[in-house]
């Protein structure tokens, strides 16, 4: 197997996720608050919405990569799913750790954590792919579908817990 090919794809994935995720931070407002756009864009400044703008670009790189590399790397889907989940966990843990220490959120640190999470998730996926980590593709597909559904549902029906609370407005969801 050609590790250079997968390494280059992972670098592409990092850049793509960072750029598209940054853009998705603004697309809901730019769309005139379109509900369809809200399903995959940040609708507020909550941690949940920042997870969404990380998740959907990473999901796109998973889908594209499955067509591009899936036959050559049988563990591609599983590895990328694991990397995506770890990236999302990093954002949550990092945010609540620094917020707990400082007592406030800082936009620069949030952006930096997004970028670090993106890199971390893709590096973990890369390591899993080249080490031929094995897992069940069906489980990966079901996990990705479930996460996608939860992002859509919780955009419109957000639980009233801190993860979903916009620290700027104090509101939840749409």
171 occurs within a structural domain: no
Helix axes 137-156, 76-102, angle to 10 degrees: 40
Q: Based on the structure, what is the number of domains in the chain?
A: 1
Query: Higher pLDDT residue, 148 or 99?
Result: 148
pLDDT at 107: 84
Which pTM was predicted?
0.93
- Which residues, including other chains, have CB under 8 Å from residue 56's CB and lie 6 or more apart? 20, 21, 24, 40, 151
Using DSSP's 3-state secondary structure scheme, residue 169 falls into coil
169 occurs within a structural domain: no
173 occurs within a structural domain: no
153 occurs within a structural domain: yes
Please state the rounded mean pLDDT for residues 78-86.
Answer: 97
CA dist., res. 129 & res. 14, Å (int): 16
Range of the domain at 135: 3-164
Give DSSP secondary structure letters for 10-72.
HHHHHHHHHHHHHHHHHHHHHTTS-HHHHTTS--SSSHHHHHHHHHHHHHHHHHHHHHHHTTT
**Each residue of 90-122: pLDDT tens digit?**
999 999 999 899 988 888 999 999 999 999 999
74 occurs within a structural domain: yes
123 is written with which tokens? 């590096």
170 occurs within a structural domain: no
172 occurs within a structural domain: no
């Amino acid at each position: 197997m050609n590790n250079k090919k997968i390494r280059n794809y992972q670098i592409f994935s990092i850049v793509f996720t960072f750029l598209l995720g940054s853009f998705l931070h603004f697309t809901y407002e730019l769309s005139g608050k379109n509900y369809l756009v809200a399903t995959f864009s940040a609708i507020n400044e909550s941690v949940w919405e920042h997870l969404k703008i990380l998740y959907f670009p990473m999901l796109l790189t998973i889908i594209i990569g499955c067509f591009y590399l899936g036959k050559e790397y049988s563990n591609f889907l599983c590895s990328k799913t694991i990397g995506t989940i770890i990236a999302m966990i990093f954002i949550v843990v990092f945010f609540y750790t620094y917020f707990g220490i400082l007592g406030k959120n800082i936009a620069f640190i949030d952006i930096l954590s997004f970028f670090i999470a993106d890199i971390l998730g893709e590096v973990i996926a890369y390591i899993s792919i080249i080490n031929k980590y094995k897992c069940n593709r069906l489980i990966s597909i079901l996990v990705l579908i479930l996460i996608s559904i939860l992002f859509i549902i919780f955009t419109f029906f957000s639980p009233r817990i801190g993860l979903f609370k916009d620290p700027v407005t104090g509101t939840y969801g749409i």
